[in-house]
Amino acid sequence: MQEQKIVLEVSNLSKKIGKSPIIKDVSFQLKQGEVLGLLGPNGSGKTTILKMLVGLIKPSAGTILIKNANIHSEFEKAISHVGAIIENPILYDFLSGYDNLVHFFRMTERFSYVRIDEIIELLKMEDYVDDKVFTYSLGMRQRLGLAQALLHQPAILLLDEPTNGLDPEGIISLRETLRKLAAEQGVSIIISSHILSEIELICDSVMVMNDGVCIESGLLSDLQNGTTTTQPYLFTVLHIEVAKKVLQDHVGVIYHSNGFSIDLEVQEVAALNRFLVTSGVDVIGIERKDNPLEDLFLHKTRGAQS
- Please tell me whether residues 196 and 251 are part of one structural domain: no
What is the band of 88 on the pLDDT scale with cuts at 50, 70, 90?
A: confident
Mean predicted confidence (pLDDT) in 252-266: 86
The predicted structure's pLDDT at residue 306: 44
Q: What is the pLDDT of residue 227?
A: 45
Looking at the fold, whether 133 and 188 belong to one and the same domain comes out as yes
Give the CB-side neighbour count of residue 261, counting CA atoms within 13 A: 8
pLDDT at 226 exceeding the cut of 60: no
pLDDT at 304 over 60: no
Domain coverage including residue 264: 231-305
* Within-domain flag for 224: no
pTM of the model: 0.74
Q: Do 37 and 131 belong to one domain?
A: yes
pLDDT for 42 beyond 90: no
Which residue, of 219, 253, 272, is where some domain finishes? 219
What are the pLDDT digits (tens) for 94-114?
Answer: 999 999 999 999 988 889 999
123 contacts 114 by C-beta, under 8 angstroms: no
- Mean pLDDT on 61-67: 95
Mean pLDDT of 247-274: 86
The total number of residues written for the chain in this structure: 306
**Across the chain, what does the average pLDDT equal?**
86
Question: Where does the pLDDT of residue 220 fall: very low under 50, low under 70, confident under 90, or very high at 90 and above?
Answer: confident
In the three-class reduction of DSSP (H, G, I as helix; E, B as strand; rest coil), residue 131 is classed as: coil
Torsion of CA 268, 269, 273, 276, to 10 degrees: 60
| pLDDT class of 155 with cuts at 50, 70, 90 | very high
Q: Is 189 helix (H, G, I), strand (E, B) or coil?
A: strand
Domain end call among 190, 219, 248: 219
Q: What is the largest CA-CA distance in the chain?
A: 63
Answer yes or no: do 250 and 106 share one domain.
no
Q: Where are the beta strands (DSSP E) in the chain?
A: 6-17, 20-31, 35-39, 61-66, 69-70, 82-85, 156-160, 188-193, 205-210, 213-219, 231-237, 254-256, 259-264, 283-288
Would the pLDDT of 2 be above 60? no
Strands 231-237 vs 283-288: parallel, antiparallel or unpaired = antiparallel
Structural domain includes residue 240: yes
- The pLDDT value recorded for residue 97 is 96
Residue 24 has pLDDT above 70, yes or no: yes
DSSP codes joined into one string, 191-219: EEES-HHHHHHH-SEEEEEETTEEEEEEE
CA distances from 2 to 5, 151, 176, 251 (A): 9, 28, 25, 38
Strands 205-210 and 213-219: antiparallel
Q: What is the pLDDT of residue 163?
A: 81
Whichever domain contains 178, its CATH number is: 3.40.50.300
Q: Which pLDDT score, from 0 to 100, does residue 1 have?
A: 37
Comparing CA positions, the residue from 199, 185, 273 lying closest to residue 237 is 273
For residue 245, what is the enclosing H or E element? helix 240-246
At residue 272, what is the residue type?
A: L
* Tally of domains within the chain: 2
Regarding whether 165 and 67 lie in a shared domain, the answer is yes
Looking at this protein, which amino acid is placed at residue 278? T
- Residue 113: how many CB atoms within 10 A of its CB? 11
Single out the residue in 219, 252, 272 at which a domain terminates. Answer: 219
pLDDT score for 224: 61
